[in-house]
Every structure is written in structure tokens, then in C-alpha cells.
Chain A
Amino acid sequence: MSARALKQNMKGYAFISPFIIGFLAFTFIPIVASLYFSFTQYNLFASPTWIGLENYKKMFTEDPRYWQSLKVTLIYVFAGVPLRLGFALFIAMVLNTASRAVGLYRTLFYLPSLIGGSVAVAIMWRNIFGDEGIINLLLAFFSIPDVRWFGDPTAALWMLIFLSVWQFGSSMLIFLAGLKGIPMTYYEAASVDGANFWQKFTKITLPMLSPVILFNTIMQTIAAFMTFVPAFIISKGTGGPLDGTLLYSLYLFIQGFEFFNMGYASAMAWIMLIIVGILTAIIFATSKFWVHYESEGGK
């Protein structure tokens, strides 16, 4: 290697060195460590003792709460993400017009997403769904009987799903940017050929947006799988009622930091990593059937 090339490499590594150091210290070493801890019993105070696959065995065969948390999380992800993205796409299409008020609407619809991650909103959500909350008042107005959102595990989970759908704003912004990128001439040409709204939607809008939809689906699925704050706040850290809101992250947190089963929680984290990896791989694998990448110059 010439002195010049060496210098070039050194410069490059000097600039990205914070990333490399941070990656090693805060990601790589912890991941390896968590794999090791997952084979141990460790409560943070005594040294870890090696117990082989015991944690994994317990998780899959002896811990109904684990299965409950997995079930609840999968429902949360597979109901919440499609609803949220479908909603985001629908509103984005409604807003994709020439009206001057669109900027204002865009802002208003984005606001829930902006504040959605905060504790304040989780507290708010907890209270509007309370027994005397406005949601039940609204239901009463349509003469639908009260739902006891905190009494029924299924209702409580849907309360969380609604909270996630309510925050469709950031996906909507991404879809809006995508829609703006579709040349109007495509639609005009389709109109000339007599295409109706549905044909334009399925033959132009969806294919043209498909890379954005893919990106959104992957990121939202991962984020949904990791959801913690709303479940933690709304159930006051218990995952109740009857473990109905015991999302995976919350159960992992409870195992790790309430019961101090660090080994067990690490095993849970590794299974989570594997599940998220598989989900991402499946979404990517199916993408070649539905994602349309436009080559240079259109069509």
C-alpha cells in the first residue's frame, strides 16, 4: 500500500472512528454479551452461572406469560401496522390535491404522530378510554353499550392499537412525498385510455409507491415490535388487565428489571432479534413480487 493510500485510509477511519468505537462498545459487545447471558442465570448481584439452554426451554415450555406476551405483540403488530399504513395512505391520497389548505391539514394530521411517543399522550389516552372517558360517552351517544377498556384484556389491547393508528402522521408525510413524485402525465395518459379511479390506483399509484410502502412496512413493523412506552404507562407497568397489554418489550423489562432475571431477559431479547430478523426477511423476500423499482427515465 502506498503511503498516499495509507494516508487516505487513515483519514477515512479517523472520521468514522466514533461510529466504529460506539458500535463496538454499545452494540457489538452488548449483543455478544447478551447471547452469553442468555445461557446463564444472572441477577446482577451474584456472578452469572451457566445453565445452558435452560432459559430458552423455560420460555417455550413453562412460561405461559411469555406466550401471552408474544401473542399480544403479534396481534399488536399485525393489526396495528396495516391499519396505520392503510390509514396513512388513504389520508395522503385525500390530501394530495392542489388545495391551498392542504398544508394546514397535513400539519394537523401530523400532530398526533409528533407527540405520540410522549408520556403525556399515554396518560391522555388512558383517561379518554377510562370508564367515564369521552370514548365511552361517544359510544353512549350512538347507543353502543360502554366498553370497560381496562377490564377486558382484548379491549385494552385494542386501545393500544388505536393509539398506534392515531399516530399515522409520519407515514402519511412519507406517502405524500411519494405521491408528489408520481408524474401527473401518467394519470393523464391513463385517463385518455379510459382508466377509472380504481385502475389508476392499482396500476399507477400502488406500483409507483411500492418502494416507499416497503420501507414504511419494515420500519413500522420493527418499531411496533419494540413498542414500550404506551403499554408501560397505560397499564402502569403491569401489562394488565390479565396480561392483555403485556407487549414483548414490557415483559422483557419486567423480567429484567423487576425480577432481575437478566439471563432470562437476554434470552427473550435474542428471540426477539430472531423474530424481527425473520419478519424483515419475509417482507424483503415477498417484495420482489410487489415492489416496482423504476429504472432511469421512467417506465
Chain B
Amino acid sequence: MQTNTEINTASKRFEMPNVKKPKWWIYHILVGGFAVLMLYPVIWLLMSSFKPSDTIFVTAQSLIPDPFILSNFAQGWEGIGGNSFGVFIKNTVVLVIITMIGQVISSAVIAFGFARLSFFGKSFWFALMMVTLMLPYEVVMIPQYIIFSKLGWLDSIKPIAVPAYFGHPFFIFLLVQFIRTIPRELDEAATIDGCGTFKIFYKIILPLIRPALATVSIFSFYWTWDNLLGPVLYLNSPDKYTVSMALNMFLSNETVSNWGAMFAMSIVTLIPVFVIFFLFQRHVVEGISTSGLKG
């Protein structure tokens, strides 16, 4: 530590005369301006959703809706085929909750096995799991579809929800990393007190990995909420559509040019994503920084 301080002061002594005071305001104008530019499309989408459909592209250069209308939301909310957008939101929320419960519980159980128990063939299974992490979904998509169609699961959420109960490699990996940081002394102490393996998992580990479980839940929500391929493959009846599927249908039905309604519903589907992010920002950022979860 002392050498560090010495180098520190040394470097300061050497550099001080040359270094100009950093121009922070230039930095903030450049970086902040660039941030606004990056987000401009989203802001444009939001503002356009308050414009009448026929003026959206005529007044594309202006962000201020004039006249400001809310009827796009009412129109979009009417939905497709007699199902209001509320139905699609309800469907998606149900799917998200069922999937999330499955992924969180199963991934935690599996991660505990990998992180804390020793058994024959453990490294083999762990390596296998890491390989499946890199496996393109397309390779299993066709046979999975065939299997689920033989099971009579088409046009239901089962093909999307059931696999969630068998763990998700990314989440298992993240939780294994997290459990490894918990001192083993805790387990040992619990064993001495007469706790069995399951009790150690349930009473000791599970409460301690709550932050990681939160991260897993959030990403589970995002991925299910955004999932389009699953619903496109497996959901046929409009009354079962999720929001991403409904938006997709909006686009394909895009009669004449009801942009306003489509933009309005796009905004509606983005709101939960933003809200969850701002509530749990720390978990999201840590999840990505520490394990490379794709955001």
C-alpha cells in the first residue's frame, strides 16, 4: 500500500504541471448530447404516439404533438379480433409469472447442487451445461416443435412454460458463481447443528442468495416479456396472444396506416420494462457486469 501511495504522489508531481484543468462542461455536452441522440428514436416513438396517425410522418421532424391526442391509446387498446390489448397483457403476465417461478426455483436447486455438493460426474454435467449455453436455439427448434405437436401442446403456453421448470443455463451459472462466494463454514456449522442437505439449501443458502435471485427474476421477466419466436411458433388463437405477438399482428394487419395506435401500444409494452429497470437498476447492472447476461 505504501508503494502505491508513493507512486501516486510521484505521478502527481510529474504530471501536475502539464495537466490542464479538465473541461467538464465540454465532456458533459458531448456525452450527454450523444446520449440524447441515442435515445431520440424512443422519444420520437413516444411523442408520435400522441399525434394523429395522418400527421406522424408529415410532422416527423417535430417532437411536440400538435394537436396532442390520446385516442391512439384508446384505439390500440381495442386490440385484434375482439380481444382488447388488456387480454394480451394479462396473457403475457400469466406466462411471465409461470415461467419466472419455474426458472428461479429450478435454477436455484440445480445451482446449489453444482456449487455445494460433490458427486461423481459433476464436472462433466457442468461442462455440458456451459456448452448448452452457447447452443443456437434453432438447432432444437424444429424437433421441439414436432415433439410438442405430438403431445398436443400446440396453441397453448405449455411449450414455452414447461421447459422453464428444468433450469436455465445462464441463471444456473450466475447462481453457482454467487453461491461460491458464500463461506462454506456456514454449511458446516449447520451440519453440526443437525441440518440435512435440503435444510441447508432452504434455510441457509436460499436466503443469502436473494440478491442473485432478484437478478434472475428480472432477466426471466425481460426474456419472456420480449419473447416473440415462442409465441409465433406456438400460439395461434388471438385470445392467447402475448403482447409481442399482438404487436406483430398489428404490423401485419397494418391496414392503411393506423401508425398512431401501433406506436401507442408499442409504448404500452415498453412501460413495464422501463419500470422494472428503474426499480431494480442495481440488480440489472450487476447481473450484466458480473456474468455477461445479455440485456
Beta-carbon contacts of B1-42 to A below 8 Å, as 1s and 0s? Answer: 000100110110011000000001001100110010011111
Contacts of A108 in B (CB 8 A): 35, 38-39
Contacts of B109 in A (CB 8 A): 15, 18
Whole-angstrom distance between the alpha carbons of A252 and B27 in the complex?
46
Q: How many residues of A contact B (CB 8 A)?
A: 99
Beta-carbon contacts of A99-112 to B below 8 Å, as 1s and 0s? Answer: 10100011111111
Contacts of B139 in A (CB 8 A): 30-31, 34, 269-270, 272-273
Beta-carbon contacts of B266-295 to A below 8 Å, as 1s and 0s? Answer: 110110011001000100110011101111
Number of A-B contacts (CB under 8 A): 271
A262-B27 contact given A233-B251, A273-B136, CB 8 Å threshold = no
Whole-angstrom distance between the alpha carbons of A117 and B110 in the complex?
28
Interface members, chain A 207-227 (any B CB < 8 Å) = 215-216, 218-219, 222-223, 225-226
- The reply to whether A9 and B60 form a contact with Cβ atoms under 8 Å apart is no
Contacts of A94 in B (CB 8 A): 31
CB-defined A-B contacts under 8 Å, sample of 11: A12-B119, A13-B119, A29-B143, A117-B222, A121-B42, A134-B44, A169-B295, A173-B295, A189-B7, A192-B7, A269-B141
| Minimum Cβ distance to chain B for residue A183 (Å) | 8
A8-B134 contact given A112-B38, A117-B226, A124-B45, CB 8 Å threshold = no
The stretch that binds A, out of B65-73, B161-169, B180-188, B208-216, is: B161-169
Interface members, chain A 252-270 (any B CB < 8 Å) = 252-253, 256-257, 262, 265-266, 268-270
Beta-carbon contacts of B143-170 to A below 8 Å, as 1s and 0s? Answer: 1111101000000000000010111000
> A19-B125, A19-B172 are known contacts; what are 11 more A-B pairs with Cβ within 8 Å?
A14-B113, A30-B143, A34-B142, A95-B31, A108-B39, A109-B38, A118-B225, A119-B228, A119-B266, A128-B41, A134-B61
- The reply to whether B35 and A99 form a contact with Cβ atoms under 8 Å apart is no
Whole-angstrom distance between the alpha carbons of A97 and B195 in the complex?
48
- The reply to whether B128 and A110 form a contact with Cβ atoms under 8 Å apart is no
The stretch that binds B, out of A20-28, A144-152, A287-295, is: A20-28
- The reply to whether A119 and B136 form a contact with Cβ atoms under 8 Å apart is no
- The reply to whether the CB of A66 lies closer than 8 angstroms to some CB of chain B is no
Which residue in chain B gives the minimum CB-CB distance to A264? B142
Contacts of B87 in A (CB 8 A): none
A134-B295 contact given A9-B119, A105-B32, CB 8 Å threshold = no
Beta-carbon contacts of A122-135 to B below 8 Å, as 1s and 0s? Answer: 01111110101110
List residues of A whose CB falls within 8 A of some B CB: 8-9, 11-16, 18-23, 25-27, 29-31, 33-34, 37, 44, 94-95, 97, 99, 101, 105-121, 123-128, 130, 132-134, 137, 166, 169-170, 173-174, 176-177, 185, 188-189, 191-192, 215-216, 218-219, 222-223, 225-226, 228-229, 232-233, 236-237, 248-249, 252-253, 256-257, 262, 265-266, 268-270, 272-273, 276, 280
Whole-angstrom distance between the alpha carbons of A157 and B226 in the complex?
22
Contacts of B14 in A (CB 8 A): 191-192
Contact of B41 among A25, A124, A174, A228 (CB under 8 A): A124
Interface members, chain B 121-137 (any A CB < 8 Å) = 122, 125, 128-129, 132, 134-137
Contacts of A130 in B (CB 8 A): 57
Contacts of B15 in A (CB 8 A): 191
- The reply to whether the CB of B255 lies closer than 8 angstroms to some CB of chain A is no
- The reply to whether the CB of B192 lies closer than 8 angstroms to some CB of chain A is no
- The reply to whether B285 and A106 form a contact with Cβ atoms under 8 Å apart is yes
- The reply to whether the CB of B91 lies closer than 8 angstroms to some CB of chain A is no
Which residue in chain B gives the minimum CB-CB distance to A124? B45
- The reply to whether B273 and A115 form a contact with Cβ atoms under 8 Å apart is yes
The A contact surface, by secondary structure, is helix
| Minimum Cβ distance to chain B for residue A42 (Å) | 8
Which residue in chain B gives the minimum CB-CB distance to A14? B113
Which residue in chain B gives the minimum CB-CB distance to A234? B251
Contacts of A119 in B (CB 8 A): 226, 228, 243-244, 247-248, 251, 266, 269
- The reply to whether A33 and B146 form a contact with Cβ atoms under 8 Å apart is yes
Whole-angstrom distance between the alpha carbons of A137 and B295 in the complex?
30
Whole-angstrom distance between the alpha carbons of A223 and B114 in the complex?
26
- The reply to whether B57 and A133 form a contact with Cβ atoms under 8 Å apart is yes
Whole-angstrom distance between the alpha carbons of A272 and B233 in the complex?
20
- The reply to whether A34 and B143 form a contact with Cβ atoms under 8 Å apart is yes
Whole-angstrom distance between the alpha carbons of A262 and B145 in the complex?
10
* Residue with the highest number of chain B CB atoms closer than 10 Å, among A22, A166, A232, A268: A22
Whole-angstrom distance between the alpha carbons of A31 and B166 in the complex?
17
* Residue with the highest number of chain B CB atoms closer than 10 Å, among A105, A106, A118: A118
Q: Considering the complex of A and B, which 8 residue pairs feature the smallest CB-CB distances, nearest first?
A: A22-B166, A12-B119, A15-B113, A177-B289, A120-B266, A30-B143, A170-B295, A33-B143
Contacts of B141 in A (CB 8 A): 252, 256, 269
